[in-house]
Amino acid sequence: MKHLNLLMFMMCVSALISCAENPQEARMTSETASETASETVSEGRRTFNVGGKADEGGRRVALFLTSHGDVDEYEEIEPYIRSAFMKNVGVPLPKVLRELLEDPAYWLAKDLVEGQYEEIGATLYRENADRQIKAIEAELEARGLIADVYIGYNFMPEFIEQTTERMARDGVTDVIVFNKGAQYSLATLGESITEMEHALERLPEWDVRITAVRQFSEDPRFVKLLADAIKRDAERYFPEVPPQDVCLLVASHGLPIRLIDMGDPAVDQMKDTVAKLRDLLPEYPLYHGFLNDDFFPGAAWVEPNAIDLAHELRSVSCPAVLMDARLSFTTHHRATLYDLDIEAREILEEPDTLADGVTPHPLYTPAQVVLAPQWDDDPGFAELIVDLTEEALRGEGDLIQVKAPAQAQ
C-alpha cells in the first residue's frame, strides 16, 4: 500500500506542482469518483433492510457503518486505485490536479498493486462486513431495538454518498454513524462525514437527525474487549508457550505528522489504548507499531513502523508472535493482509530478511507467527456497537452532531 502513494508523489514532482497543505482541498465529491468506479464495477451488492422499519414512536433508525472499503475481485483493482487517488485525504492535491494525474497514477501503480493482491488473494472484505452486519442485526433484534444497518465506502461502491441518498429514500429519521475503526481521524470518520454532507446538499427536504460516534477507542468497554480477545487468541494459538514468550505485535493505522500537527487525534487515541492494554496484559511483551502509507518520499510519518518492529522482534528471538490489528481495523484488508501477513511474517520467519546490521539472537529459531482474526462477527464487538448506538440515540457519548432535524434547528 505504501508504494502506491510514493508513485503518486513522483507524478506530483514530475508535473512541477506545489502540493496543497489543506486536506480539505484534496477532497473530491464521491459523485465524481463513483462515476469512474461504476464503469467497471457492478453495483449489485447486498442491500440491507431496504424500506426501513419504524419504531412505536414513528422513528426509522439507521446504524451506518463507513470505511475506505477494499478490493474483493481482480477487476475491481483499477476502479479502486482511481477512486483512492481521487478522494484520499492523505494526497494533498486539489481536484483539478487529481483529474489531470488520474491516468498516470493508475498506470504507475497498477502492476505493484496487482502483485500485492496476487499474493494475498481475495480479501473477503465485503463477506466479512456482511458477517459483522448480521451480528449487529442479531444483537439489535435480541434487545428489541428497531433499527436498520447500512454500510458505505469511501473508495468502493456502494459509496457513502449513495448510501446516504438511499437512507433518505427509505425515510430514515435518525442516523448513527460509525467509522469501522475505534478512533477518530480526519482521514476516516472525518472524510465520511464530509461525503455525507456532500449528499445532504442534494437532499434539502430530508428531515433527519444524523449523529456520528466520534470514537470509542478510549471507552473502557472497548479496551477490555480488545485485551480479552488478544489474551484468548494468544492462549488458543500458543497453548504450550508461556505468556512471557508470546510477543504481541499490535499494529494500527498510521498517519503523516502533517495531519497530526493539524490536530488529528487518532494516534494519541491509539497510544492511550495501548498503554491501557499493557496494564491489562502485563504478562505479555507488547509492541505497538503503525501501518504507514508513506504518501511522500521523505515525509514524516508517525513511528515506529510495524515492519521495523518485526525486525526488533526477530532480534530478541520471540518464539511466538501474535500479530493483531483490531485496535484500528474491524475487518482485514490489504494493509493487514499484505503489510502484516506477508511483509512482517517474512521478517519474523525467514533468517535472510534481517535488516542490515541486525544480528540474530544466539538462540534464534523461526518464530511461530499468527495473524489474529478481525472483529468481523465477534458477538462482543456487535454488543459494544449496539451499546454505543443506544447511548447515541439518547445523546450520550463522544458524539458529533452532523445534522439536526428541522424542529431542533
154-200: pLDDT as tens digits: 999 999 999 999 999 999 999 999 999 999 999 999 999 999 999 99
Per-residue buried b or exposed e for 117-141, using 16+ beta carbons within 10 Å of the residue's own CB: beebeebbbbebbbbbbebbbebbe
Residue 50 confidence (pLDDT): 42
Cα–Cα distance between 185 and 252 in angstroms, integer? 12
Mapped onto helix, strand or coil, the DSSP state of residue 321 is strand
Residue percentage of the chain with pLDDT more than 90: 61
pLDDT tens digits, residue range 190-246? 999 999 999 999 999 999 999 999 999 999 999 999 999 999 999 999 999 999 999
Could you give the C-alpha distances from 39 to 16, 43, 76, 82, 156, in angstroms and in order? 31, 10, 10, 12, 12
Per-residue buried b or exposed e for 26-62, using 16+ beta carbons within 10 Å of the residue's own CB: bbbbbeebbebbeeebeeeeeebeeebeeeeeebbbb
**Contact of 26 with 88, CB cutoff 8 Å:** yes
Cα–Cα distance between 394 and 17 in angstroms, integer? 48
* Residues written for the chain: 409
* Domains assigned to the chain: 2-215+379-408 (3.40.50.1400), 220-371 (3.40.50.1400)
* pLDDT above 60: residue 17: no
Mapped onto helix, strand or coil, the DSSP state of residue 376 is coil
Per-residue pLDDT band at 122 (split at 50, 70, 90)? confident
Residue percentage of the chain with pLDDT more than 70: 79
pLDDT tens digits, residue range 51-82? 557 776 688 999 999 999 999 888 899 999 88
* pLDDT above 80: residue 323: yes
Cα–Cα distance between 236 and 244 in angstroms, integer? 15
Transcribe 213-281 into DSSP letters: E---TT-HHHHHHHHHHHHHHHHHH-TTS-GGGEEEEEEEE--BHHHHHTT--HHHHHHHHHHHHHHH-
**Contact of 154 with 68, CB cutoff 8 Å:** yes
Q: Is 17 exposed, middle or buried (0-12, 13-18, 19+ CB in 10 A)?
A: middle
Of the listed ranges 310-324, 340-354, 385-399, the one predicted with least confidence: 340-354
Taking each helix axis as running N to C, give the angle between helix 77-87 and helix 95-120, from 0 to 180 degrees, rounded to the nearest 10.
140
Interior angle at CA 50, CA 47 and CA 53, nearest 5: 140
Nearest to 125 by CA among 378, 374, 326: 374
Cα–Cα distance between 153 and 46 in angstroms, integer? 13
